[in-house]
Chain A
């Protein structure tokens, strides 16, 4: 009888360990794809630096005269609609996929032009390639002939919203208006409350 009990307890314990381990690994797998380490004018920046905050990530490039400023302005506009304590929970991140042209100092100024707390980041091409692949975002350099613009960067226009633990919670594929972003912000605040 006693041996049986010990055996059952042993099995139960092992099962418990595996289950806990599996959940831990699963969590790590969810977080890992969206983690990054990039450069800013003030030093390296990691996604994990914003644990506890709600990161909003946008990939683009500064040479883009229209889509990028529009999207960033819409995001900033949506943030400004929130009371300050709520807006401060978010962290707007602009990641340039054009490190050849976008310097770190310029990126800092550019990001802050839209929103004072926003950060402008970039990195080396291989790092960017990996990060954008993980996020499911695409970009491609297109050389243009007969243009004052040597090349443009075709890119997806997604806005990514991550939760306070660094997991992807929401994506807006092509933001049409600040209202859409505002609704996403409110949704993220509710998610953060329940975490």
Chain B
């Protein structure tokens, strides 16, 4: 009985310390109903002294989830998959429109603003981060009505 108590206390104690990797400001993009792909963006902070990498992700909402980047070559914008995304020690990497993103390929369900999705992230230090409620945001910012 005591053993269980201490075990539980131990577990609670470890969770008080900052996780090596902290993910914040995550959101996914609403897409038109017949579009099969979407993207998720977020800020990833590395609180350790070693370089860490995001290796992959998964989500029940998509058949396949990959990491992608955008690269401007000349005047052409190219998108390509990347094997990993680096996060420097004591720094953060931002996944944002026009740059790095988690690509959700082959959506199983429509993505609508106001709803949320579940996203699992896998890191090189073995940490697995499950984001239970990533909000879906519309790419249409601002008002929808005309100025009268």
* Chain A partners chain B: yes
Question: Hey, which bits of chain A sit against chain B, CB under 8 A?
Answer: 62-67, 69-70, 73, 76-77, 80-84, 87, 105-106, 109-110, 113-114, 138-140, 142, 144, 146-149, 152, 154-158, 173-174, 178
Chain A neighbourhood of B133, CB < 8 A:
none
Complex interface: chain B residues within 8 A of A146 (CB): 81
Contact residue among A109, A114, A155 (Cβ-Cβ distance under 8 Å from B77): A155
Structural contact, B77 and A154, CB atoms closer than 8 A:
yes
B66 and A147: CB pair below 8 A?
A: yes
A79 to B, closest residue via Cβ: B146
Task: Report whether A65 and B32 are in contact in the complex, using a CB–CB cutoff of 8 Å.
Answer: no
CB contacts (< 8 Å) of B98 on chain A: these are 66-67, 70
Q: Are B31 and A65 in contact (CB under 8 A)?
A: yes
- For the complex formed, measure the closest distance between the CB of A180 and the CB atoms of chain B, giving whole angstroms: 14
B19 located at the interface, meaning its Cβ lies under 8 Å from any Cβ of chain A in the complex? no
Residues of chain B from 14 to 37 with CB closer than 8 A to chain A in the complex = 29, 31-37
Q: Does B39 contact A (CB under 8 A)?
A: yes
Nearest B residue (CB) for A116: B144
Given A62-B35, A109-B32, A110-B34: A73 and B141 interface contact (C-beta under 8 Å): yes
B122 to chain A, nearest CB (A): 17
Tell me what chain B mostly uses at the interface: helix, strand, loop, or mixed: strand
User: Contact residue range for chain B?
Assistant: 35 or more
B77 adjacent to A67 (CB under 8 Å): yes
Most A CB within 10 A of own CB, among B64, B142, B148:
B142
B41's nearest neighbour on chain A, judged by CB, is A66
Q: Is the CB of B140 within 8 A of A73?
A: yes
The reply on B76 being an interface residue by CB < 8 A is yes
Q: How far is B64's CA from A147's CA once the two chains are assembled, in angstroms?
A: 9
* 19 further A-B pairs in the complex, CB-CB below 8 A; given A66-B101, A158-B75, A173-B75: A63-B37, A65-B37, A67-B77, A67-B79, A70-B97, A73-B139, A73-B141, A77-B140, A77-B141, A77-B142, A81-B142, A81-B147, A83-B146, A110-B34, A113-B32, A144-B80, A148-B64, A148-B105, A149-B66
* Closest Cβ–Cβ distance, residue B76 to chain A (whole Å): 5
Q: How far is the CA of A157 from the CA of B31 in the complex (A)?
A: 19
A142 lies within 8 A of B101 (CB): no
The CA of A139 and the CA of B73, in the complex, are separated in Å by: 12
Q: Say whether B75 contacts A156, CB under 8 Å.
A: yes
Within residues 95 to 119 of chain B, which ones have a CB less than 8 A from any CB in chain A? 97-98, 101, 103-106
For the complex, is B46 an interface residue (Cβ under 8 Å from A)? no
CB pair A156–B77 under 8 Å, yes or no, is yes
Q: Nearest Cβ in chain A — how far from B69, in angstroms? A: 10
Known interface pairs A73-B141, A148-B64; A157-B37 also in contact (CB < 8 Å)? no
Does the CB pair B80–A156 fall under 8 Å?
no
Interface presence of B3 (CB below 8 A): no
